[in-house]
Amino acid sequence: MEGYLRVLQASIDPKIVPNIIAAIGITNSVITFVLTSILQRRSMVRWRKLTWITFTFLWSSIVFCLVDLLIPSYGPSANNLGTKCGILLWAVGLGCLIFLVYKIFSVSLSPKRRRLSFGRSKITPFEVGAIEKFGTPFLDDMARRILGAGGKIFFPIVLITDRTGIGLKISQRFLTQGIRENEGCIYLSFTRPWNIIADQITSHLPKGFPLENRVIILDCYQLLYLPDERPGMGASGPPGIDVRFCDPRDPVEVKIEITKALRAIQRLGIKKVRLLYDSLSDFISVADEELVVSFLRRSIVWEELYGVKSIYLVWPDILRSPITDDYLAWFGNTVLRIGNENDHHTALLEGVGSKPVAMTIDGKLEGIGMGNFSIDEERAKQIGDLITRLRYRPDECAGITPFVGDPYHEAHFIFFLTAIDHNTHGEERYEMIVDGSLVHGSDLLYELARRFARMERDFFTPQRLKNVSPDELVRVFRAGLVVPVRIHERAKLLNDAADTLLEKYDGDIRNLFAGADGYLRPSKGPGILSLLREFKAYEDPLEKKSFLLVKLLRRRKLVAIRDTENINVPVDHVLFTLALRSGLVRMDQSAKEAIMGGVCLDTSLVEALRAVTLMAFREVAAISKVAADEFDDLLWAYGREILKEAVPFPEEKAAAISIDHLNERIGDKNALAAFIRTMAGIDSESLKELSRIPIPCFSPTWYF
């Protein structure tokens, strides 16, 4: 205590007080100028309050010092009290300044405690399904077709759309679809306060739908545009929505709040999450330019790695350099562009495969001409249950080649035969009697190829087929007076396949599979399916021949597939006709009139039918827990027998269908009878009209 009294009683030479004031004043002026310049940066908004406190201490110190010029002494107990208090206040202000400078540099230099990294978020990766529902008909259709064609929609998605409102509908329906599926949902609102967003979200849901705190609205609007209003102004939102606030000018604060929201969702035990930026354009327009670039480059990667299914809503042509629409599109994994053309919209999906996918959509967000086919979920379950009951044991297809024990010749025999294994029938059916039985189509193609290979062992090798002529193929595949239709086309496909093998894979198809490390669709780099598209014979976007090749090579144990979940059925006319007859795939009125009337379907409609068929049998595989390339044996073999009969399929013929080498591998013969009746469309659950569906007419193609 005596020490404090001595400090108070000690006197300061009045002559140096003006010097103290001048020194503090000059220092404060410099500090004020520098801080004011720095704090103009948008990301410093959170430190402006601390800055005002610092300025208060610094400039108050001068006021106290000035008092000493008027009242140098306050009696015997205190001398120069104003100067002493001023120095003390300046020291406190200096402490605040040091802390403030640390925070400023922390933002600029991104040290560990303030970095724009999610590395220490203590968040475990969320789950992402093979195909996600978006809540909009056209986008769900596109997703199914893309997956069926070997592509995939990757998150985050950059949604570039004009301000007609369609982009907002798409993104909000995406979020509410997640709510329906009991996923966590985070809505970053940069354009409207939270209560408006809450009303918009609930308008897409049934009244009283339980939200259970799975929905978090991060209001990035109110603190910036309505600072005088208390947070949460206006009418209270529906229960179950968690509302939080942050200033969009500071991307670091936005990142922190997103991380907190994700943690909150994981604490609820939720395995999937969706995130919507509404809109990213508004965020970029007001955020700190340096930090928002870092934020975007990090968040796009982090959200993909951690399974956060996010959509970045972007208004075109309003962003300035360097963060332009093209810049955002370049960083986005998938880009969806929505355009407006008179009475309809156009959708272009980029980054989902080898080329963009386009679609025309109407005001109901349905694809014009693309919604002709759909999957009957209940029928998928019935067929899946039947396949489980069959207890089918697939064979090793040992008799398919004459080269058992010779992997090189066996693999190439299968590869080249599959390359030309498409429709063989012309005006005359491609068939003949072999060992007392009628053999036709693909079976006859393989039978005659085996016969010739026994005489000329190296015929089905790249070196031999690179220059094979149509006349030589006629010699191999002639069945009496009939040869497979379009034999010149098949010769060209074999020439191309052989040339590509020699040029890229040292003449050995096994090198292609080795190069993909056994993955059909790896997360990085080319997979087996994408590499096979280098061959003209295997360029089918729905990969019928590719999946057939994989199936046969797997049976012969010539290749091991590491991502078997990506195996699909090889969709040809047999499978998509069965899908229609069984009711597994439904058709709308226009498609029904075309197919029943024998109208030749255009390429896009055939591709749509094949894509929906592929996805339908994927669902069947998931339900039955039987691999798609295993029950494909049954679909194709029994399906061909069903399609031999004229429509409507005669019920008495169902019991007569029998394929000895398959029958003996089926555990439940009663289930087999039910399976045949179901696929023929004559079971008790089928509508009578199903058995009347003919094989759809389509243009010639080498895809199937």
Q: How far apart are CA 18 and CA 23, in angstroms?
A: 9
Residue-wise pLDDT tens digits, 522-576 = 867 789 999 999 999 999 988 999 999 999 999 999 999 998 888 999 999 999 9
Question: Is the domain of 386 the same as that of 352?
Answer: no
Residue 696: asked if its preceding bond is cis (omega within 30°), the reply is no
Q: 285: how many CB neighbours lie within 10 A of its CB?
A: 16
Distance of CA 578 to the CA centre of its chain: 29
Instruction: Confirm whether 132 is domain-assigned.
Output: no
419 neighbors 497 (Cβ within 8 angstroms): yes
- Report whether the peptide linkage leading into residue 18 is cis, meaning its omega lies within 30 degrees of zero: no
The number of folded domains in the chain is 4
Strands 373-375 and 241-245: unpaired
Both structure tokens of 454: 């026994």
Which residue has better confidence, 334 or 216?
Answer: 216
Token pair 């500090």 in the structure block, residue:
31
Residue 112's pLDDT band (boundaries 50, 70, 90)? Answer: very low
Q: What is the mean pLDDT of residues 441-447?
A: 93
Instruction: List the single range of 51-60, 92-101, 143-152 with lowest mean pLDDT.
Output: 143-152
Rounded to 5 degrees, φ, ψ at 687 are: -75, 150
Residue 651 has pLDDT above 50, yes or no: yes
pLDDT of residue 111 exceeding 60, the answer is: no
* CB atoms near residue 603 (< 10 Å): 11
Q: Is 618 exposed, middle or buried (CB count within 10 Å of its CB: 0-12, 13-18, 19+)?
A: buried
Note whether 405 and 531 are same-domain residues: yes
User: Which whole-number Å values give the CA distances from 627 to 47, 301, 378, 593, in the listed order?
Assistant: 59, 33, 20, 34
Question: Which contiguous run of DSSP H or E holds residue 188?
Answer: strand 184-189
> Average of pLDDT values for 52-70?
75
pLDDT value at 235 more than 70: no
Tell me how far apart the alpha carbons of residues 275 and 188 are, in angstroms, rounded to a whole number.
Answer: 8
Same structural domain for residues 436 and 310?
no
Average pLDDT score over residue span 352-370:
68
Q: Select from 114, 145, 169 the last residue of a domain.
A: 114
610 and 502 part of one domain: no
CB 524 within 8 A of CB 483: no
The answer for residues whose C-beta is within 8 angstroms of residue 536's C-beta and 6 or more apart is 492, 493, 496, 497
Cis peptide before 374 (omega within 30 of 0): no
Q: Are residues 186 and 295 in the same domain?
A: yes
Residue where one domain finishes, among candidates 556, 583, 609: 556
pLDDT at 259: 92
**pLDDT given for residue 38 in this prediction:** 65
pLDDT of 369 strictly over 60: no
Residue 294 in tokens: 């870092």
Of the segments 72-81, 276-285, 469-478, which one has the largest average pLDDT value?
A: 469-478
Task: Report the alpha-carbon distance of residue 613 to residue 375 in Å, rounded.
Answer: 8
Domain check: are 530 and 598 in the same one? no
Backbone angle region of 292, left / alpha / beta, with phi > 0 → left and psi within -120 to 50 → alpha: alpha
Q: Inter-axis angle of helices 137-148 and 603-624, to 10 degrees?
A: 80
* pLDDT tens string 580-637: 999 999 998 889 999 999 999 888 789 889 988 988 898 899 899 999 999 999 999 9
Which two structure tokens, joined as six digits, stand for 699? 């243009």
For residues 107 and 332, what is the distance between their CA atoms, to the nearest angstrom?
25
Residue whose structure tokens are 């919209």? 345
Residue 585 lies in a domain: yes
| Alpha helices, DSSP H, located in 459-539 | 462-465, 470-477, 487-504, 509-515, 528-532
Are both 588 and 528 inside the same structural domain?
no
Q: Looking at this protein, which amino acid is placed at residue 409?
A: H
The answer to whether position 123 is within a domain reads no
Q: Say if residues 211 and 290 touch (Cβ distance below 8 Å).
A: no
Contact present, 60 and 89 (Cβ < 8 Å): yes
Average pLDDT on 426-446 reads 90
**pLDDT for the residue 276:** 95
* Tokens (6 digits) for 604: 């896009």
The helix/strand/coil state of 199 is helix
Whether 218 is covered by a domain: the verdict is yes
Q: How far apart are CA 665 and CA 662, in angstroms?
A: 5
681: left (phi over 0), alpha (psi -120 to 50) or beta: left
Mark whether 166 and 313 lie in a shared domain. yes
CA distances from 523 to 131, 154, 304, 331, 636 (A): 15, 10, 11, 17, 31
Distance CA 484, CA 429 (A): 9
pLDDT at 321: 63
Residue scoring higher pLDDT (269 or 96):
269
**Is 119 part of any domain?**
no
d(CA 681, CA 146) in angstroms, rounded, equals 29
Residue-range definition of the domain harbouring residue 209? 137-369
Antiparallel, parallel or unpaired: β 585-587 and 373-375: antiparallel
- Residue 402 Cα to chain centre, angstroms: 43
The residue assigned the tokens 């197919």 is 595
Strand partners, 439: 432
Q: Does the reported pTM lie above 0.75?
A: no
Contact, 349 vs 336, CB < 8 A? yes
Mean pLDDT of 134-149: 77
150 and 255 belong to one structural domain: yes
Mean pLDDT score of the chain, rounded to an integer? 84
Residue 96 domain-assigned (yes or no): yes
* Any domain includes 129: no
pLDDT at 464: 96
Phi, psi angle pair for 240, to nearest 5°:
95, 0
Cα angle 538, 539, 545; round to 5: 35
φ and ψ at residue 606, rounded to 5 degrees: -65, -40
Residues 555 and 678 sit within 8 Å (Cβ to Cβ): no
Sign of CA dihedral 250, 255, 260, 262: positive
A 10 A CB-CB count for 635 gives 26
Q: Is residue 645 part of a domain?
A: yes
User: What are the structure tokens assigned to 453, written together?
Assistant: 């290979």
Model confidence at 696, pLDDT cuts 50, 70, 90, reads very high
Task: Categorize the per-residue pLDDT at 420 as very low, low, confident or very high, splitting at 50, 70 and 90.
Answer: very high
What tens digit of pLDDT does each residue of 252-265 get?
889 989 999 999 99
**450 falls in which pLDDT band (50, 70, 90)?**
very high
Are both 94 and 208 inside the same structural domain?
no
Q: Which of 304, 244, 301, 308 is nearest to 274 (CA)?
A: 308
131 band by pLDDT with thresholds 50, 70 and 90:
low
Planar angle of CA 347, 352, 353, nearest 5 degrees: 120
Same structural domain for residues 290 and 168? yes
202 and 345 both lie in a single domain: yes
**Phi, psi angles (nearest 5°) of residue 51:** -65, -45
